Amino acid sequence: MSLVKVIELLMLEQSNMESNYAKVSTGEQLSVPNLKQLKKNQNIKCLVDQYDKKRIELFIDGFHFLCFFKPFL
């Protein structure tokens, strides 16, 4: 999975969490996650657990390249 895809998934998850927070703060009860969402959560947890922290510099350098040099390509 590419860094861009991971960032997209994190942004989507943040959006979902903000939506859920708004529902909870107004008194609504959240629905029980369906099987598809449970599987997605399990996959994200697996990715996070397998992440190699020793290679963080490579990911940061790649992200830096995407942010600053991609518009010029």
Task: For the chain, give the percent of residues with pLDDT over 70.
Answer: 77
What tens digit of pLDDT does each residue of 37-55 get? Answer: 889 989 988 888 887 777 7
Predicted confidence (pLDDT) at residue 73 exceeds the cutoff of 50? no
What is the model's pTM?
0.41
DSSP SS3 for 27 = coil
Per the CB < 8 A criterion, the answer to whether 66 and 4 are in contact is yes
